[in-house]
Structure 1
Amino acid sequence: MNEVTMSEEAFRILLKMHVRPGLEADFEKAWLAVGNVITEHPANLGQWLMRATDESSVYYIISDWVDEPQFRRFELSDAHVAHRRQLHPFRSGGSMATMQVLHGFPGRAGAR
């Protein structure tokens, strides 16, 4: 087995966002328009937007960071506040989970 081990400091954010019904397409456009605020930060490793297959108004956003302290500094920054302000009109609720990424295995299809 070829285990892929990320830095033991890698930090992952998982956001669950409830979008107001009927505003899903507008939310996706807004997310795409402001997403570079996150990915241009030097400590960001990438982010992904996903929509639940069983609830069309529920979205998940994964954002990976070099470490927790750098994410927390970004979380309090003016840039992040402005980013949230752009997405807030579409939201009806949500939650955030934080976690430490420890290990991973690439799938056969991803290794091609």
Structure 2
Amino acid sequence: MTTPGFRVLLKMHIHSGMEDEFEQAWRSVGAAVTEHPANLGHWLMRSTSEDSVYYISSDWVDERRFREFEESWEHGEHRALLHPYRESATISTMHVVGHLLKSAGEAR
């Protein structure tokens, strides 16, 4: 498996009581991210320690291709559909410098 070159992590506070609708909306617009040729994966995670907090992580071939996507109309539509659920959000971007996987024989 190739190490992804660039990772994006969003932390989103969702309006209380709108969590289920947010999750459905994220799934319905996820193709805007995963169908981009430079995207390597897209994950939605719900915090176990903070109410109504989600993390969205996506891996990209490189920063330049992510930035092109970030400025695209597809991304604008994606954001517009999720915006009504969002109380606040922060973004962190990072270059992946390494990753380790379990050996093929180990249990997962």
Give the structure-1-normalised TM-score. Answer: 0.89
Question: Counterparts of 1:58-73 in structure 2 under 5 Å?
Answer: 58-73=53-68
| In structure 1, C-alpha distance between the alignment counterparts of 2:77 and 2:106, rounded to whole Å | 37
Per-residue CA distance 1:74-107 (angstroms, 9 max, x = gap) = 1000000000000000000010000001111114
Given candidates 4, 16, 22, the residue that maps to 2:17 is: 22
| In structure 1, C-alpha distance between the alignment counterparts of 2:11 and 2:105, rounded to whole Å | 25
Instruction: Tell me what 2:3 maps to.
Output: 6
Instruction: Tell me what 1:57 maps to.
Output: 52
Q: 1:110 to 1:19 in 2, by over 3 A?
A: farther
Alignment RMSD, CA only? 1.9
Q: 1:55 to 1:66 in 2, by over 3 A?
A: same
Identity percentage of aligned residues: 54
Instruction: Tell me what 2:36 maps to.
Output: 41
Q: Secondary structure at the match of 2:80?
A: helix
| Structure 2 unaligned spans of 5+ | none
Per-residue CA distance 1:35-91 (angstroms, 9 max, x = gap) = 011000000000100000012300000000000000001100000000000000000
Q: Tell me, yes or no, if structure 1 residue 94 matches structure 2 residue 64.
A: no
Per-residue CA distance 1:11-36 (angstroms, 9 max, x = gap) = 00000000000000000000000001
| In structure 1, C-alpha distance between the alignment counterparts of 2:55 and 2:6, rounded to whole Å | 16
| In structure 1, C-alpha distance between the alignment counterparts of 2:104 and 2:46, rounded to whole Å | 22
Q: Secondary structure at the match of 1:17?
A: strand
| Structure 1 unaligned spans of 5+ | none
